[in-house]
DNA sequence: GCCCGTCTTGCGAATATTCACAAGAGTACA
DNA sequence: TGTACTCTTGTGAATATTCGCAAGACGGGC
């Protein structure tokens, strides 16, 4: 239950109310792990809680709210947006290949240094919690070179 | 007319056909400058060319194609996606404040160095042509601190 | 210049996401 | 604990974006 208390605290700290739908969406994302679409989150909540269903539009709004207070990150890349819980202890970003679709981990210190350079020069606080860098992986570059 | 020839060449180089809708969409983005939604591009083409209208779904597909061959970059951030022509001579990225919505320029060499570190260590070719970094600008940080 | 195979387009329909507004729930304060 | 104020939710509708398929256009080879 401590996860849920953490979510509630973070909401209060941001001046937002702690409500049942918010706790449920956050909880679903935390426990499922990985990338989920709004639809999947909605279904997951219905399964867990047959009684108190929440509306799909509420899921979307709630995800927007959780994104604003940086508990959740959105990762586009396709017809449907996906969402992931932000692990504050282990922030990470991805490299995503546009050719084969595979994802690789991006060393967090690269992002951290990039962010701190921007903060130092522009005074801008960078929010790259879970950031997807598009490009071509080494394998696909080799293939394209040959083709 | 050289802009249009450039677009045609880039399409051919990527193994895509050079068609009227593609040239028109590219041309609209080049000449309008700045961020346009699909709807705006569509309207712009209708105004310029009363005769040969193109379908909105074609505008979407065409933008997807131009994005793939990196002539165009998409910048989300809102209910509607916006698109911008990529200026190969002057690549640039933005800092966008989540609180006030203002945009600032991000020094291109920061992005370039970030990209080259990734390429050097992972062999991954980074495609950050026109990249929007979310966060909080100096002004809004000050305001939030006070609040 | 013409023909063929393949890539694109236009159309209409399906899907994903956002919006408006009235009803309901959380929080601060007495 | 009760009350009032404001923020959130649910509902249904509006909007943005994607998809499937048949017809049309591009480009290579003759």
Per-residue confidence (pLDDT) for residue A147, from 0 to 100: 46
D12: residue with closest CA to C1': A57
What is the tens place of the pLDDT at every residue in B19-77? 999 999 999 999 998 899 999 999 999 988 776 789 999 999 999 999 999 999 998 76
Per-residue confidence (pLDDT) for residue A4, from 0 to 100: 84
pLDDT band at B147 (very low <50, low <70, confident <90, very high): very low
Average pLDDT across chain A, whole number: 88
Q: Is the distance between the Cβ of A5 and the closest atom of strand C smaller than 7 Å?
A: no
Å from the B57 CA to the C15 C1'? 14
* Domain chopping of chain A, boundaries: 2-85, 93-146
Per-residue confidence (pLDDT) for residue B144, from 0 to 100: 67
**Does position A11 have pLDDT exceeding 70, yes or no?**
yes
The alpha carbon of residue A47 is apart from the nearest alpha carbon of chain B, in Å, by: 29
Q: Are the beta carbons of A126 and B117 separated by less than 8 Å?
A: no
What is the tens place of the pLDDT at every residue in B85-133? 998 888 888 898 888 878 888 888 999 999 999 999 999 999 888 888 8
Burial of A98 (0-12, 13-18, 19+ CB in 10 A): middle
For residue B65, the tally of other CB atoms under 10 A from its CB is 20
The alpha carbon of residue A20 is apart from the nearest alpha carbon of chain B, in Å, by: 26
Q: What CATH code would you report for A2-85? A: 1.10.10.10
Residue A71's nearest CA partner among A132, A124, A133, A18 is A18
Q: Which of B120, B135, B136 to probe by mutation at the A interface, max A CB count within 10 Å?
A: B135
Q: Are the beta carbons of A68 and B104 separated by less than 8 Å?
A: no
Which nucleotides of chain C does any protein CB come within 7 A of? 7-13, 16-20, 25-27
Residue B143's nearest CA partner among B104, B106, B99, B102 is B99
The pLDDT > 70 percentage for chain A reads 94
- Please answer whether residues A133 and A93 qualify as being in contact, where contact means their C-beta atoms are separated by less than 8 angstroms: yes
Per-residue confidence (pLDDT) for residue A144, from 0 to 100: 66
Q: Give CATH superfamily name and number for B93-146.
A: Ferric-uptake regulator, C-terminal dimerisarion domain (3.30.1490.190)
What is the tens place of the pLDDT at every residue in A97-140? 888 878 888 888 899 999 999 999 999 999 888 888 889 999 88
pLDDT band at B9 (very low <50, low <70, confident <90, very high): very high
Q: Cα torsion at A86, A90, A95, A96 (round to 10°)?
A: -40
């Amino acid at each position: 239950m401590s996860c849920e208390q953490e979510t509630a605290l973070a909401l209060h700290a941001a001046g937002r109310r702690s409500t049942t739908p918010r706790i449920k969406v956050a909880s679903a994302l935390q426990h499922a792990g990985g990338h989920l679409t709004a639809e999947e989150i909605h279904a997951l909540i219905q399964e867990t809680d047959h009684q108190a269903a929440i509306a799909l539009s509420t899921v979307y709004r709630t995800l927007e709210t959780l994104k604003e207070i940086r508990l959740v990150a959105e990762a586009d890349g396709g017809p449907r947006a996906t969402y992931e819980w932000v692990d504050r202890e282990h922030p990470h970003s991805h490299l995503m290949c546009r050719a084969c679709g595979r994802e690789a981990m991006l060393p967090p210190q690269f992002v951290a240094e990039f962010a701190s350079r921007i903060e130092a020069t522009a005074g801008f606080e960078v929010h790259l919690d879970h950031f997807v860098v598009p490009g071509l992986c080494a394998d696909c570059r080799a293939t394209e070179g040959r083709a």
